[in-house]
A and B are shown apart, each in its own frame.
Chain A
Amino acid sequence: EPEVTQTPSHQVTQMGQEVILRCVPISNHLYFYWYRQILGQKVEFLVSFYNNEISEKSEIFDDQFSVERPDGSNFTLKIRSTKLEDSAMYFCASSEGYRDGYTFGSGTRLTVV
């Protein structure tokens, strides 16, 4: 079964550093998403991406966040200057179309110290 692949599985970074979280969506999917889950809390929407542009973003997705699909296969989330409160599990997801639901990756656990 096709999978969404996320790397790395765990990243530790110092506060103020930039991090890039990588995702390889399912190849024929057109819609891409990032969600995050702070430990013990609900899964929260960050951003959706379609046709090489952001289609929707949440209030969490401020100027320190950006997304990119640099080469037609990868989908990245960049956090420019990490804060302690950015520590969370970040999930990438992709979808072929609106009736499919999403396929989520296994997540990247980001720890900011």
Chain B
Amino acid sequence: AQSVTQPDIHITVSEGASLELRCNYSYGATPYLFWYVQSPGQGLQLLLKYFSGDTLVQGIKGFEAEFKRSQSSFNLRKPSVHWSDAAEYFCAVGPFGNEKLTFGTGTRLTIIP
């Protein structure tokens, strides 16, 4: 069965600092990987997705993620965070097609001035 692990429940970074959120997945075939962001009281917004090809994918809001098959990882990065990036971040994995996504437990990001 597919699964996603986000080992960091809560991360605090200073505004302007770099950010990396970790995501490890378990899936028997080539996965389809996603990062979503959820601001308080809001829905889930797609940041970026990986299906195939270039293992470094660019997303919205200056985020990027790198797929590393050998490490079963899909870590999210941003070179310089802004206070507006404070939110909950979810990694998700899905099979080919339109079947269900399996989400990680999320990482809450706090930004300090």
Q: In this assembly, does A111 line the interface, its C-beta being within 8 Å of a C-beta of chain B? A: no
* Of B44-52, B61-69, B77-85, the one with at least 4 CB within 8 A of chain A: B44-52
Contact (Cβ within 8 A) A97 B98:
yes
Q: In this assembly, does A7 line the interface, its C-beta being within 8 Å of a C-beta of chain B? A: no
Size of interface on B: residues with Cβ below 8 Å to A: 24
A88 to chain B, nearest CB (A): 14
The residue on A at minimum CB distance from B6 is A42
Majority SS of interface residues in chain A? strand
Within 8 A of B (CB), among A1-43: 4, 6, 31, 33, 35, 41-43
Which of B34, B44, B106 has the largest number of chain A CB atoms within 10 A?
B44
Contact (Cβ within 8 A) A45 B101:
yes
Given the interface pairs A101-B49, A104-B36, the reply to whether A43 lies near B98 with Cβ below 8 Å is no
Chain B residues with CB under 8 A of A97: 98
How does the 8 Å CB contact mask read for B91-102 relative to A, with 1 for contact and 0 for none? 010001111111
Contact (Cβ within 8 A) B100 A41:
no
Chain A residues with CB under 8 A of B99: 48, 55-56
Contact (Cβ within 8 A) B98 A104:
no
Majority SS of interface residues in chain B? loop
Which residue in A31, A43, A58, A95 is a CB contact (below 8 Å) of B44? A43
| Bound-complex Cα distance A94 to B98 (A) | 10
The residue on A at minimum CB distance from B95 is A98
Within 8 A of B (CB), among A69-93: 91, 93
Q: In this assembly, does B28 line the interface, its C-beta being within 8 Å of a C-beta of chain A? A: no
Contact (Cβ within 8 A) B100 A56:
yes
The residue on B at minimum CB distance from A105 is B43
Contact (Cβ within 8 A) B100 A104:
no
| Bound-complex Cα distance A44 to B104 (A) | 10
A47 to chain B, nearest CB (A): 9
Which residue in B43, B92, B97 is a CB contact (below 8 Å) of A106? B43
Contact (Cβ within 8 A) B106 A42:
yes
